[in-house]
Amino acid sequence: MRGVDHEPEEDFAEFYRACADACLRAVYASVGDRALAEDLTAEAFARAYASWRTISRHPAPTAWVVRTALNTHVSWWRRRKREVAWSDGLDLAAAAEPALALDPAILAALWNLPTRQRQVLALRIFLDLDTETTASALGIAPGTVTAHLSRATATLRGALASAREQEAS
């Protein structure tokens, strides 16, 4: 017999099915390493599952998962006391896999952005969160979100235009 105890599990399973891919894309766009993004996203979903009764009432549980994944990345990075260079080990073929559905040229341009700009883009564009929710998830002011988004899109626009010009030559 299925009782009330099974409802949160079913609710979480539905949440996971609905947003796992979007969360993975957002984290991947931010960290630039597919395997790392998968690990971080899995860890964040595990934490969400463990606290699902609380997380399910969060105003933006998807943003919570992505932010938790990004915070976990920072924690792992601090433990290692070193940063992996963005240019090392970029697997552009894996980046173009349908599961991630991100153009390799866009990913290369994303990886050249500062971390906070990548995070803002991941939440605002990939997860389609509003400015206030993004600001809350990242712990920054809404105006800072707007400024980072503006700078990031201008930089991406220029980088992609240059890439198109080089292809045309």
Q: How many domains does the chain have?
A: 1
Instruction: Give the integer Cα–Cα distance in Å for 122 and 27.
Output: 7
Instruction: Give the integer Cα–Cα distance in Å for 65 and 51.
Output: 11
The domain of 141 spans 4-168
Q: What is the pLDDT of residue 164?
A: 78
Q: Is residue 83's pLDDT more than 50?
A: no
Mean pLDDT of the chain: 81
Among 6-15, 48-57, 87-96, 133-142, which stretch is predicted with the lowest mean pLDDT?
Answer: 87-96
- In this prediction the pTM is 0.62
Confidence of residue 100 (pLDDT cuts 50, 70, 90): low
Confidence of residue 109 (pLDDT cuts 50, 70, 90): confident
